[in-house]
């Protein structure tokens, strides 16, 4: 088989790239290791920047998002026993974020891909990448015991942090920048109304907490936990008790608890691989970088990467210009590093670290007070949270 672009991975990065390329008249196939149900069962963040929403609109996949998504104008920061609202819309001259689960984005993109009949091979085993340094890259995979080979112009590695694409590059061609944080997030999903209309990010001496949501009837809550903890050590009651201890009295009063429908622990990591292009192989999304979830940037960075990549490939196919693919890595990384900085900074001011002593606790408190009282600091937080321009 021959195709213009072979995409590895049917997460948000691969699926959105597929729709964008199709819109630009570029044929593509997606190879995904898991089955559809497995991909859709992964629960991840749900805060979309305006740029991400615009890309979904561009490919005609924003109808349900506009119907069901919640527009948020601000967030709340909780510390020192009180909550403080950050009006991001006001601070950014009108920008907002949309609350809509990544799972729903993935489902909408999969449905759109099916409707137009673009090929996705689920349960593609043993995907291997070949000759991306030359002119004729190839991808091999095994499906139902039979080996297949695809010849293509380009390979897009959208296969997440543990994918095969980044691992196919020789070690001396890639440089890794990494920070692993000494704690995790224990998260639960419950069919309960959210405690507040907006997200609450809490700094507490017992550790960070986050009150988020998926809809007016479904909530997502997190508490910072230790890395060696296990979700099954946490009964629902234990989770709710711990969350309450980290919230202000008014939020505790309003909190509606109920049985969890999902409970899991996620480690926190910052990671960047440079560059993001190796000949005719491009990395995009989690395959190239990871952010801790504190800034809600993971999915949004995947979206900006594939925007740069799709635009570059359009320039190549329709204008015969290699300028876009030549600068893809540099353009993508410039935005990636700003989001890495923001996510690292949000993580550092909101969590308890093993070495958080009284001095650093006071510094965090001063930083948070400054954030909610200085127009300039509020603006800096807000413009990053709603998303920096592409
Ligand atoms: N072959 C084929 N597919 C693979 C392989 C492989 N060897 N390895 C991984 N995959 C698939 C995974 O099963 C997954 O469906 O690639 C997909 C990668 O999807 P994501 O991990 O969701 O990554 P990405 O699309 O870049 O989305 C970034 O996801 O992890 C969150 O926080 C992150 O929100 C961000 C978003
Ligand atoms: C979530 O809703 O899961 C969520 C929201 C905001 C974050 C991280 C996770 O910063």
| 238, β-bridge pairs | none
Nearest bound ligand to CA 188?
2
Q: State in Å: Cα 293 to ligand 2 middle.
A: 6
The Cα 87–Cα 354 span in angstroms is 32
**Ligand 1 contact via 101 beta carbon (within 6 Å):** no
CATH number listed for the domain at residues 181-268+353-386: 3.30.9.10
Q: Which of 160, 272, 302 to mutate to test the pocket of ligand 1 (most atoms within 8 A of CB)?
A: 160
Q: What is the pLDDT of residue 43?
A: 84
**Ligand 2 contact via 212 beta carbon (within 6 Å):** yes
CA 293-307-126 angle, to 5 degrees, is 75
Is 130 among the residues known to form the active site? no
**Ligand 2 contact via 214 beta carbon (within 6 Å):** no
Instruction: Please give the C-alpha separations between residue 89 and each of 9, 146, 173, 335, 382, in angstroms, as whole numbers.
Output: 35, 54, 42, 21, 8
Are 187 and 263 contacting, i.e. CB atoms less than 8 angstroms apart? yes
Query: Angle between the 102-116 and 50-58 helix axes, to the nearest 10 degrees?
Result: 10
Nearest bound ligand to CA 219?
2
Task: Label residues 162-173 b or e (16+ Cβ within 10 Å = b).
Answer: ebbbbebbeeee
The Cα 273–Cα 157 span in angstroms is 13
Tokens 């991840």 belong to 44
**Ligand 2 contact via 220 beta carbon (within 6 Å):** yes
Nearest bound ligand to CA 220?
2
Give the ligand 1 atom nearest the CA of 14: 25
Q: Residue 42 CB: number of other CB atoms within 10 A?
A: 12
Q: Whose CA is nearest to atom 1 of ligand 2?
A: 45
**Ligand 2 contact via 293 beta carbon (within 6 Å):** yes
Q: Which of 44, 123, 128, 285 to mutate to test the pocket of ligand 1 (most atoms within 8 A of CB)?
A: 285
Q: Whose CA is nearest to atom 33 of ligand 1?
A: 298
Is 201 among the residues known to form the active site? yes
Q: State in Å: Cα 211 to ligand 2 middle.
A: 8
Residues of the chain with pLDDT > 70, as a percent, come to 100
Q: Whose CA is nearest to atom 30 of ligand 1?
A: 286
**Ligand 2 contact via 294 beta carbon (within 6 Å):** yes
Q: Which residue is catalytic, options 12, 72, 221, 308? A: 72
CATH number listed for the domain at residues 2-72+99-178+269-347: 3.50.50.60
**229 Cβ contact partners less than 8 Å away, ≥ 6 residues apart:** 184, 186, 265
DSSP 3-state of 84: strand
What does the domain layout of the chain look like in residue ranges? 2-72+99-178+269-347, 181-268+353-386
Q: How far is residue 184 CA from its own chain's centroid?
A: 16
**pLDDT in tens for each of the 390 residues of the chain?**
999 999 999 999 999 999 999 999 999 999 999 999 999 998 888 999 999 999 999 999 999 999 999 999 999 999 999 999 999 999 999 999 999 999 999 999 999 999 999 999 999 999 999 999 999 999 999 999 999 999 999 999 999 999 999 999 999 999 999 999 999 999 999 999 999 999 999 999 999 999 999 999 999 999 999 999 999 999 999 999 999 999 999 999 999 999 999 999 999 999 999 999 999 999 999 999 999 999 999 999 999 999 999 999 999 999 999 999 999 999 999 999 999 999 999 999 999 999 989 999 999 999 999 999 999 999 999 999 999 999
CA 145-151-155 angle, to 5 degrees, is 95
Whether the domain at 2-72+99-178+269-347 and the domain at 181-268+353-386 fall into the same CATH topology: no
């Amino acid at each position: 088989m021959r195709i213009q672009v072979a995409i590895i991975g049917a997460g948000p990065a691969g699926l959105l790239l597929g729709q964008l390329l199709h819109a630009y008249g570029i044929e593509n196939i997606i190879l995904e290791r898991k089955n559809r149900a497995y991909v859709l069962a992964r629960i991840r963040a749900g805060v979309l920047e305006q740029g991400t929403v615009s890309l979904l609109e561009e490919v005609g996949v924003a109808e349900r998002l506009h119907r069901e998504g919640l527009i948020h104008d601000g967030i709340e920061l909780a510390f020192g026993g009180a909550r403080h609202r950050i009006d991001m819309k006001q601070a950014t001259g009108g920008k907002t974020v949309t609350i809509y689960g990544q799972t729903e984005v993935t489902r909408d993109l999969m449905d759109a891909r099916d409707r137009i009949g673009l090929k996705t091979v689920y349960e593609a085993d043993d995907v291997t990448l070949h000759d991306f340094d030359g002119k004729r890259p190839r991808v091999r995979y095994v499906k139902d015991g039979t080996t297949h080979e695809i010849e293509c112009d380009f390979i897009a590695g959208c296969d997440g942090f543990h994918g095969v694409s980044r691992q196919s590059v020789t070690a001396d061609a890639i440089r890794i920048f990494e920070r692993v944080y000494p704690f995790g997030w224990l998260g639960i999903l419950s069919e309960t109304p959210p405690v507040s209309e907006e997200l609450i990010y809490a700094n507490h001496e017992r550790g960070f907490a986050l009150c988020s949501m998926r809809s007016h009837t479904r909530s997502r809550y997190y508490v910072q936990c230790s890395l060696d903890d296990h979700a099954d050590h946490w009964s629902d009651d234990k989770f709710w008790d711990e969350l309450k201890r980290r919230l202000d009295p008014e939020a505790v009063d309003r909190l509606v608890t109920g049985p969890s429908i999902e409970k899991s622990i996620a480690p926190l990591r910052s990671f960047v691989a440079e560059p993001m292009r190796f000949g005719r192989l491009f990395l995009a999304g989690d395959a190239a970088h990871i952010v801790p979830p504190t800034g809600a940037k993971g999915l949004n960075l995947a979206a900006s990467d594939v925007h740069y990549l799709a635009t570059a490939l359009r320039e190549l196919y329709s204008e015969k210009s290699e300028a876009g693919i030549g600068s893809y890595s540099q353009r993508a990384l410039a935005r990636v590093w700003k989001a890495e900085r923001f996510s690292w900074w949000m993580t550092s001011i909101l969590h308890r670290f093993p070495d958080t002593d009284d001095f650093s606790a006071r510094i965090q408190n001063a930083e948070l007070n400054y954030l909610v009282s200085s127009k300039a600091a509020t603006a800096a937080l807000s413009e990053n949270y709603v998303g920096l321009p592409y």
